[in-house]
Amino acid sequence: MKTETRHEHFEPPSLLGTILRKLHIDIPLFIGLLLASLLSFVILYSAGSQDMDVIIRQAQRVGLAFLLMTIIAHIDPYQFKRYSTLLFGLGILLLIAVLIMGQIGKGAQRWLELGLFRFQPSEMIKLTTPMMIAWYLAEHPMPPKQKHLIVAGLLIIIPTLLIAKQPDLGTALLVFSSGAAVLFFAGLSWIFIAAIITTLSALTPILWHFMHDYQRDRVLTFLNPEADPLGRGYHIIQSKIAIGSGGIYGKGWLGSTQSELDFLPESSTDFIFAVFAEEFGLFGGLSLLTLYLLIITRCLYIASQAQDSYNRLLASSLSLTFFVYVFVNIGMVIGILPVVGVPLPLISYGGTSIVTLLSGFGILMSIHTHKKFR
């Protein structure tokens, strides 16, 4: 590998620089995440009927998630690589455990009760799947050969199906895309990509057969929301009304009428973007998208600067998956994608998703701040 020339003569590091290096924090990324979290409090206050308790609870979770991110950023990325298979295997076992307990309890179950808190194995698998695939592909020359692709494909399909069975379509989709993203960055040939897309579309009728009734309803409602305005179509119609009535400049903070009047359900969780777009308009929507783009761009930059194959694949997959998160949620809220249960990353109310997300950013920071210069 080429030796980088810009480090041949060292400048004496500034005090601030030293502290930041010690903290293993990537400042641009950190600022972006902080901004998004602050924005989240602002909008949650409005969406959650101005209940301060909601903000305090969320702030505690976000604080905890930031702490976890910093801790993870301190771990040398070599350790992630080393424990990839172990963590992935553990995650799969826990998923199976949850599924079996769900069968015994005769209902959908997604978590394990651990006394003090609930643990969702599907959240853990969101990170360990790209770790596993990256580890596996990094062992071999890239672009990956056919047999490696088949193994990697299986490693993606297993957790995806286990989660889809829970049934949690949203998370299954995210896990699938995190694994597929690794394949893409490893240099999966375009012919293969085209082949996979064709196969997936051919599989749609089979998938339809295995879907739960409520999942089928969601797809049907997405195709024609007006058909069931009191029931399934309610979310989409109300969310479109909220966003559309926001106009260019929005109705101002706390000015949303749709969520205030309880027309918009799940306004604090999956449908929070509708409240945001109603109150801050197109202007606000574009600003939020820009903030997301800046975060993603920084992540991709970190991936491009990463030094070994494992780090690159993992970093780039985490970046792309974050975008999938954003795209699927906003796409669903503005009515161009079906309603799958995916929260708006960094903004929606809820603890589990933000902890996983910031852990992922912790990995990215670790990769960026642990380079061994030669």
Partner 1 sequence: MYTIKDHSLENRLFLNRIVTSFFVIILLTSGLIVRLIYLQIVGNEHYSSLAKDNSVKIVPLVPTRGMIYDRHGNVLAENTPSYSLELIPEQISNIDETLLSLQTLLAIPNDKIELFQKLRKRQKRFVSTPLLLSMNDEELAKFAVARPYFPGVDIHTHLVRHYPYSDLTAHVIGYVSRINESELKDLPISEYRGSTHIGKLGIESSYENDLHGKTGYAEIETNVQARLLNTLNEVNPEPGGDLYLTLDINLQKTAYDALNGFNGAVVAIDIKTGGVLVFVSRPGFDPNPFVVGISNETYQALQTSENQPLYNRALRGLYPPGSTVKPFVALAGLEFEAISPEQQLFCPGYYQLPGVDHQYRDWKKGGHGSVDLNQAITESCDVYFYRLASMLGIDHMHSFLQQFGFGEKTGIDLIGEKTGLLPSREWKLAQKKQSWYPGETLITGIGQGYLQVTPLQLARATATLANQGHVVTPFLVDKIVRAHETSPGPETHKDTITLKQENVNTVIDGMINVIHSARGTAKGINTHINYQIAGKTGTAQVLGIKQNAKYNENSIDFKFRDHALFVSFAPANDPKIAVAVIVENGGHGGSVAAPIAGQVIKQFLKDNNEN
Q: Which parts of this chain interact with partner 1 (CB under 8 A)?
A: 1, 49, 51, 107-108, 140-143, 184-185, 187, 213-214, 228-232, 234, 240-248, 257-258, 260-263, 277, 281-282, 285-286, 289, 293, 296-297, 300, 303-304, 309, 312, 316, 319-320, 323, 327, 330-331, 334-336
Are the CB atoms for 362 and 69 separated by under 8 Å?
yes
Give the C-alpha separation, 370 to 299, whole Å. 15
126/312 with CB nearer partner 1? 312
List the one residue out of 59, 53, 52, 58 whose CA is nearest residue 269: 58
Shorter beta-carbon distance to partner 1: residue 63 or 249: 249
For partner 1, the closer CB: 66 or 110: 110
Q: Which is nearer to partner 1, 31 or 286 (CB)?
A: 286
Please list the residues that pair with 119 across neighbouring strands: 112
Instruction: Quote the least distance from Cβ 354 to partner 1, whole Å.
Output: 22
Tell the smallest beta-carbon distance from residue 263 to partner 1 (Å).
Answer: 5
Pick from 35, 33, 40: nearest CA to 273: 40
Side chain identity, residue 32: G
68 versus 296: smaller Cβ distance to partner 1: 296
Which residues fall within 8 angstroms of residue 87, CB to CB, at 6 or more apart? 124, 128, 131, 132
- Phi/psi at 113 (nearest 5 deg)? -85, 120
Least Å distance, CB 35 to partner 1, is 18
Q: Phi, psi at residue 69, to the nearest 5°?
A: -60, -45
CB-nearer residue toward partner 1: 100 or 293: 293
What's the min distance (Å) between Cβ of 180 and partner 1?
12
CB of 115 to partner 1, least distance (A): 20
Dihedral pair phi/psi, residue 119, rounded to 5°: -115, 125
| Smallest separation (angstroms) from partner 1 to the CB of 149 | 15
Q: How far apart are CA 162 and CA 364, in angstroms?
A: 27
If DSSP codes are grouped into helix, strand and coil, which group holds residue 218?
Answer: helix
Scored b (16 or more CB within 10 A) or e, 44-72 reads bbbbbeeeeebbebbeebbeebbebbbeb
Going by C-alpha positions, the residue among 257, 371, 268, 241 that lies closest to residue 53 is 268
Minimum Å distance from CB 12 to partner 1? 32
Pick the closer one to partner 1 by CB: 63 or 255: 255
Angle among Cα 368, 173, 345 to the nearest 5 degrees reads 55
Question: Shortest gap between Cβ of 245 and partner 1 (angstroms)?
Answer: 4
CB of 170 to partner 1, least distance (A): 15
Residues in contact with 183: Cβ distance below 8 Å, sequence separation at least 6, in sequence order: 133, 137, 144, 149, 152, 153, 156
Q: Between 258 and 369, whose beta carbon lies closer to partner 1?
A: 258
- Cα 147 to Cα 144, 153, 188, 322: the distances in Å are 8, 10, 12, 28
Closer of 23 and 338 to partner 1 (Cβ):
338
Nearer to partner 1, 87 or 340 (CB): 340
In angstroms, give the least distance from the CB of 260 to partner 1. 8
Concatenated DSSP letters for 161-172? HHHHTTT-HHHH
Structure token pair of residue 101: 């307990």
User: What is the sign, positive or negative, of the torsion defined by CA atoms of 241, 247, 249, 251?
Assistant: negative
